[in-house]
């Protein structure tokens, strides 16, 4: 691994069933190790990380940077990724971490599609609501527009720009159709760990590390159970 240089970096994706780890060294993405994250246990992630590092003759103390998909996503899965990252940073004295918003990870799937100028990443928030984040392409990058938030599909469409491309797992839960609105193919709906690594590395190079004490999951809103409880009052 010495030929790749530093930093040694890892990326963690546990916000959806298709989880994964990635190992990088310097500017090179060395290996992507996908796994079924449906069990969503910290032990599984740590074990698979040890296997990944071991295949390249590395131990955990060689890790310099950790990039974690921070949500929104599966409530349990997102917390697992955050917990593993915080634990590693506490144990590894020289390691630093970057929280990567999962909506950015999903949007990265469509970065090569330069004909797209307006993009929305849509997630399901329960109770008939979706959580949408709008992006506009500027100089080849996706730049968030406004503040992500909860809405019904009709409310979202009433305020969204046109033409608009859609992606995100929320497309599997909501019928979002209108003139000038184009959903992406299903293969582009879900976060990929290689995107977590790419975005995390860009943020790290810009010095945008996350204080581990402030590393918390990003949620679409209040947990569904709490929203239901409040509606009964």
* 80-136 tens-digit pLDDT: 999 999 999 999 989 999 999 999 999 999 999 999 999 999 999 999 999 999 999
Fold of 113-188: Nucleotidyltransferase; domain 5 (3.30.420)
CA distance 204 to 188: 25
Computed from CA positions of residues 198, 79, 72, 70, in that sequence, does the dihedral angle turn out positive or negative? negative
Q: pLDDT for 160-182, tens place per residue?
A: 999 999 999 999 999 999 999 99
Q: Where are the domains of the chain?
A: 2-102+190-224, 113-188
pLDDT of residue 1 exceeding 50, the answer is no
pTM: 0.93
Domains 2-102+190-224 and 113-188 share a fold: yes
- Options 3.40.1390.30, 3.30.420.40, 3.90.1150.10, 3.40.50.300; CATH for 2-102+190-224 is 3.30.420.40
Q: Extract the tokens encoding 176.
A: 């979002």
């Amino acid at each position: 691994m010495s030929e790749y240089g530093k930093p040694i970096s890892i990326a963690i994706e546990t916000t959806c069933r298709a989880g994964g780890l990635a190992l990088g060294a310097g500017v090179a993405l060395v290996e992507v190790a996908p796994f079924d994250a449906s069990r969503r246990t910290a032990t599984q992630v740590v074990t698979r990380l040890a296997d990944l590092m071991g295949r390249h003759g590395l131990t955990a103390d060689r890790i310099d940077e950790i990039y974690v998909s921070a949500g929104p996503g599966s409530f349990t899965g997102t917390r697992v990724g955050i917990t593993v990252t915080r634990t590693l940073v506490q144990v590894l004295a020289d390691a630093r971490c970057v929280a990567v918003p999962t909506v950015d990870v999903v949007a990265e799937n469509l970065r090569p599609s330069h004909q797209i100028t307006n993009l929305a990443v849509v997630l399901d928030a329960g109770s008939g609501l979706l959580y949408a984040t709008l992006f506009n392409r500027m100089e080849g990058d996706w730049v968030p527009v406004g503040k992500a938030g909860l809405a019904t599909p009709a409310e979202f469409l009433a305020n969204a720009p046109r033409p608009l491309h859609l992606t995100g797992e929320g497309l599997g839960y909501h019928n979002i159709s209108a003139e000038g609105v184009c959903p992406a193919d299903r293969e582009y709906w879900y976060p990929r760990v290689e995107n977590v690594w790419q975005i995390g590395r860009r943020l790290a190079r810009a010095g945008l590390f996350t204080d581990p004490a402030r590393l918390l999951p990003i949620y679409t809103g209040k947990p569904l159970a709490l929203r239901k409880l409040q509606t009964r009052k």
